[in-house]
């Protein structure tokens, strides 16, 4: 994943992930799991993701010395849109537009653990 596909401003409770990348279209889930493909598959396709986190709802600082773990975590709003396009078949999928009211849960944060805990 390219470094510039992620942007984080933790102090403001904002982050974004934007990526467009070639991936294999395996035709269906069964083909992906069994690696038995229909004729002509897998094919290259393009998938695009746009994820945004913003609007701090809650902030928690967690420290657990017994587990060598510490972090700052922000519950936020978030949205996601994604699409896929297979130029070989012409198949295209586009998600519904980003909808913050459909949020189930989102958290961004920074943690330190193990040898980085001290």
Q: How does pLDDT run across 78-108, given as a tens digit for each residue?
A: 999 999 999 999 999 999 988 877 777 899 9
* Residue 75 is assigned to a structural domain of this protein: yes
Q: What is the domain range of residue 55?
A: 3-112
For residue 112, what is the enclosing H or E element?
strand 107-113
* Residue 12 is assigned to a structural domain of this protein: yes
What would the pLDDT profile of 20-45 be if each residue is shown by its tens digit? 999 999 999 999 999 999 999 999 99
* Residue 41 is assigned to a structural domain of this protein: yes
What would the pLDDT profile of 48-83 be if each residue is shown by its tens digit? 999 999 999 999 999 998 888 999 999 999 999 999
What is the spatial distance between Cα 70 and Cα 112, in angstroms, rounded to a whole number?
Answer: 5
* Residue 117 is assigned to a structural domain of this protein: no
Over its C-alpha atoms, the chain yields an Rg (Å, rounded) of 19
Cβ neighbours around 118 below 10 Å, total = 7
Residue pair 55/77 in contact by the 8 Å Cβ criterion: yes
Q: Cα–Cα distances in Å, from 79 out to 22, 51, 58, 83, 104?
A: 22, 6, 17, 14, 10
Beta bridge partner(s), residue 25: 43
Total domains in the chain come to 1
Residue pair 26/34 in contact by the 8 Å Cβ criterion: no
Q: Cα–Cα distances in Å, from 101 out to 14, 27, 41, 53, 117?
A: 17, 32, 38, 13, 36
* Residue 118 is assigned to a structural domain of this protein: no
Question: Does the N-terminal peptide bond of residue 42 adopt cis geometry, omega within 30 degrees of 0?
Answer: yes
* Residue 31 is assigned to a structural domain of this protein: yes
């Amino acid at each position: 994943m390219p470094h510039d596909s992620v942007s984080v401003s933790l102090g403001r409770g904002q982050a974004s992930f934007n990526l467009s990348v070639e991936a294999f279209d395996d035709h269906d889930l069964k083909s992906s799991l069994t690696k038995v493909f229909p004729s002509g598959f897998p094919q290259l396709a393009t998938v695009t993701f746009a994820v945004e986190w913003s609007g701090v709802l809650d902030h928690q600082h967690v420290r657990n010395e017994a587990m060598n773990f510490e972090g700052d975590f922000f519950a936020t709003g978030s949205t996601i849109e994604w699409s896929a396009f297979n130029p070989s078949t012409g198949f295209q999928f586009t998600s519904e537009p980003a909808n913050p009211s459909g949020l189930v849960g989102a958290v961004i944060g920074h943690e330190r653990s193990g040898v980085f805990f001290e």
